[in-house]
Chains A and B, each alone.
Chain A
Amino acid sequence: EAQVTQNPRYLITVTGKKLTVTCSQNMNHEYMSWYRQDPGLGLRQIYYSMNVEVTDKGDVPEGYKVSRKEKRNFPLILESPSPNQTSLYFCASSYIGRTRETQYFGPGTRLLVL
């Protein structure tokens, strides 16, 4: 089954404790992206990747890191989480090209930073 998986689905942590949210897709997509969703603000892009070893900032990259060492994986790293990073996070993937194929979203990771 074609899918995007994220782990963990729920996470409670404390300020400053480094964490990683994993994202994996099995569709051989070149493009992967991370979004955060907050009430009233919609989906905001954090980072995206066009292919292995190619990443770029989205609209709200501060406080986040990403890496793309393998095509299927795109982990999101919070080196020193703060309460304002409490949010719902979505990973997404797609093929790339002129028609800009649809993005497939993962199930989401709900993060609470105390």
Chain B
Amino acid sequence: QQPVQSPQAVILREGEDAVINCSSSKALYSVHWYRQKHGEAPVFLMILLKGGEQKGHEKISASFNEKKQQSSLYLTASQLSYSGTYFCGTSQSNFGNEKLTFGTGTRLTIIP
């Protein structure tokens, strides 16, 4: 079952902040975040493992709430280059089963 992402789409002005959520009904071991620009392949942003850790990547960070089986991606002071579709991918196993299930994506548009 695919994780549920919200919102489906968001439009922001440059400099504003955004939060993208990813929720699963199943117990997760890891959550992966990718960004895809139009016509291009998805590009890895970060991975979060079971344990509730938070990771950062420049002005983009993420958290993983194990109790809620939910991850949130935070984009701070958004830049035009942040535009694209963001996907979360979830995995239930730490080893041996490498099935990664992606959400349907959140389209982020940054306007000047």
Interface residues of A (CB under 8 A from B): 31, 33, 35, 40-45, 48, 50, 56, 58-59, 90, 96-100, 102-108
Contact = CB atoms under 8 A, between A and B. Distances in A.
B104 A42 contact: yes
11 contacts: A31-B98, A42-B102, A42-B103, A42-B105, A45-B100, A48-B99, A58-B99, A97-B95, A100-B30, A100-B32, A103-B44
Given A96-B95, A100-B30, A102-B47, A43 B41 contact: no
A42 to B, nearest CB: 4
B15 to A, nearest CB: 28
Given A45-B100, A107-B40, 7 more contacts: A41-B104, A42-B103, A43-B42, A56-B99, A58-B99, A100-B47, A106-B41
Interface residues of B, number: 23
Interface of B: 2, 30, 32, 40-44, 47, 49, 87, 89, 91, 94-95, 98-105
Contact of A100 (B91, B104, B105): B91
